[in-house]
Chain A
Amino acid sequence: MLLGKTVKELKEMIDKKEVTAEEVFSFFHERIEKYNKTLNAYLTVQQKGTNTAPGVLSGIPLAIKDNFCTTGVRTTASSKVLDDFIPQYESTVTGHLKDAGYELLGKTNMDAWAHGSSTETSDYGATKNPWDITRSPGGSSGGTAAAVSAYLAPAGLGSETAGSIRQPASWSGVVGLKPTYGRVSRYGVIAMGSSLDCPGPITLSVEDAATIFQTIAGNDPFDATSSPLPTEDYVKGMKEKKTYTIGIAEEYFEGLDDDVKNALDTSIKIFEKLGFKTKKVSLLSPQYSISVYTIIQRAEVSSNLARYDGIRYGNPRTHFGSEAKRRSMLGTYTLSYGYYDAFYKKAQKVRTLIINDFKRAFKEVDFIIGTPSPITAIKLGDFEKYPFFGELMDKFNEPGAMAGIPGINVPVGLDRNGLPIGMQLMANYFRETDLLNAAYQFEQETDFMGVIKKGVLNFK
């Protein structure tokens, strides 16, 4: 009865007293007990719901990535350094979810410190893709994406530095929204790249993404980089019939797998059918964003990971895994005397070029269409073969992440192996309403929920 229901549908059932909040929680808890051994999507599982706050999410259990501090509930960021860390305070976003009545279902696996695109760098083992358990669900928010995809949660929270929401959403066949940097508070989120990090929802429908985004977005006095601009009514705004101009940039169609390319071509036709216009635009090659991202993110990583001294909380620095060490050292290198100008400052300047480039493009078009990943889910273990592979695979997400603009992944079908393909729209700063609007129209037109639910029902 409950299998595959969206947050919205579950909430309606609870409100109509067709099901109780306890029953909903038990339903997911039982599924987790049954399937998590296979998927390894959750690191910590809650035994029961305790939140009685009335709100738009009351009775709705959610999966939360393990880098959000949750008071009294172990939070590891999938690193042994934080193996026994119990936060004494709540992240702003999970606090908002609490106020809206949500239940914490559990904390989900991720790449350790969010360093990676496959969950394979997790110190607690990789998460498996529910569509094919020999494959990666993507990452770093792979645990949440897999949990939602296998319906071990109706929705959840991920966080993105460059691709960590959109790419796992794409590989796992679910919706993932990466908001504008600063739209959602970073307070209480274990930091990776502080000038990039951005929490966002991973869901089964665009409307659920809008609802959760609505709940977590807004200014936070405890995050000095959070935007003071007012939020909008995203759910309402999403449903107004509008047409937009979609930008097609050749640079974002390079090196795509044939099936992915065909799915994007089909998506463009669907948008045209909806009355959208399309226009060719040219953008700076994502190749440069890979470098800018690598330099700036590693620099911020080396600074953020410096705080783990094993004295105030957590284990000593000897507990860091290989990837965290590699990133810290590269960051240390590019920030070193003699290299700072050549690498870090240069990257900051190119970051300006990337921002200007998007601003120019968004004068002509409303969105840039593309995909979060040039390929579909790869076999577990394949990332390890190529040290730089993750960054290359995330090249379509890195430019937007460097600029801080929002993007959304929506599933657009399956490839020849039956694996989900994701389509991505990127928009100008704070244009989440429009982004959700276009994605919602696309969803109504294509019923890609059918595709997603096939995945949910297939996983046994």
Chain B
Amino acid sequence: MSDKIKLSKEEVLHLAKLAGLTLTEAEIEKNSAQLAETIDYIQNLDELKTEGVAPTNSVVDLSNVTFEDGTKNTRGLTQVEATANGKNVKENAFAVDRMM
């Protein structure tokens, strides 16, 4: 992984597609250089030995945090509230483009 990483225009566009983003020509150019620069930097982690080290997913030592059975949901939204910020709402439901 010591070789300088380069990102082609196609790779940048592929990442943008995966992330659901649209890029301008200038952004494609800028990102292929800057993403490569960043990726290059973060490879310094290879200098550290991590064999046998467990990965940290969360710094809090908690697992299976759940509500007690029968807990009243005090923060649920009504349908009107839930759709209050929608741009295209019909009869308190989100209207979206046809999928099929």
**Closest Cβ–Cβ distance, residue B36 to chain A (whole Å):** 10
Q: How far is the CA of A292 from the CA of B56 in the complex (A)?
A: 11
Q: Which partner residue on chain A sits nearest B7 by CB separation?
A: A333
CB-CB under 8 A from B20, the residues of chain A are 306, 317
Q: How far is the CA of A404 from the CA of B65 in the complex (A)?
A: 19
Q: How far is the CA of A328 from the CA of B22 in the complex (A)?
A: 12
Residue of B20, B67, B81 ringed by the most chain A CB atoms within 10 A: B20
Given the known A-B contacts A313-B86, A345-B55, are A326 and B35 also in contact in the complex, defined by CB atoms under 8 Å? yes
CB-CB under 8 A from A388, the residues of chain B are 37-38, 41
B50 at the interface (CB under 8 A from A): yes
A28 at the interface (CB under 8 A from B): no
A403 at the interface (CB under 8 A from B): yes
Interface size of A as a range: 35 or more
A302 at the interface (CB under 8 A from B): yes
CB-CB under 8 A from B19, the residues of chain A are 302, 305-306, 325, 328-329, 331-332
CB-CB under 8 A from B47, the residues of chain A are 288
Kindly identify, within residues 9 to 62 of chain B, every residue whose CB is under 8 Å from any CB belonging to chain A.
12, 15-16, 18-23, 27, 30-31, 34-35, 37-39, 41-48, 50, 53-60, 62
Please pick, from B39, B43, B50, B77, the residue contacting A349 in the complex, using a CB distance under 8 A. Answer: B50
Interface majority SS on B: helix, strand, loop or mixed?
loop
CB-CB under 8 A from A294, the residues of chain B are 38, 41-42
A458 at the interface (CB under 8 A from B): no
CB of B50 within 8 A of CB of A325, answer: no
**Closest Cβ–Cβ distance, residue A284 to chain B (whole Å):** 8
**Closest Cβ–Cβ distance, residue B15 to chain A (whole Å):** 4
Given the known A-B contacts A329-B12, A350-B48, are A387 and B38 also in contact in the complex, defined by CB atoms under 8 Å? yes
Interface size of B as a range: 35 or more
CB-CB under 8 A from A333, the residues of chain B are 15, 35, 39
CB of B31 within 8 A of CB of A291, answer: no
**Closest Cβ–Cβ distance, residue B75 to chain A (whole Å):** 6
CB of B55 within 8 A of CB of A181, answer: no
CB of A325 within 8 A of CB of B21, answer: yes
CB-CB under 8 A from B87, the residues of chain A are 310-311, 315
Those 9 A-B pairs whose CB atoms lie nearest each other, nearest first: A313-B85, A348-B55, A404-B59, A349-B50, A224-B65, A291-B42, A88-B81, A351-B56, A182-B60
Which B residues are within 8 Å of any A CB, using their own CB? 1, 12, 15-16, 18-23, 27, 30-31, 34-35, 37-39, 41-48, 50, 53-60, 62, 65, 67, 71, 75, 77, 81-88, 94, 96
- The 17 sampled A-B contact pairs (Cβ below 8 Å) are A88-B77, A195-B59, A227-B60, A290-B42, A295-B45, A311-B94, A311-B96, A312-B94, A313-B85, A342-B1, A347-B42, A347-B45, A353-B48, A353-B50, A355-B56, A404-B59, A404-B60
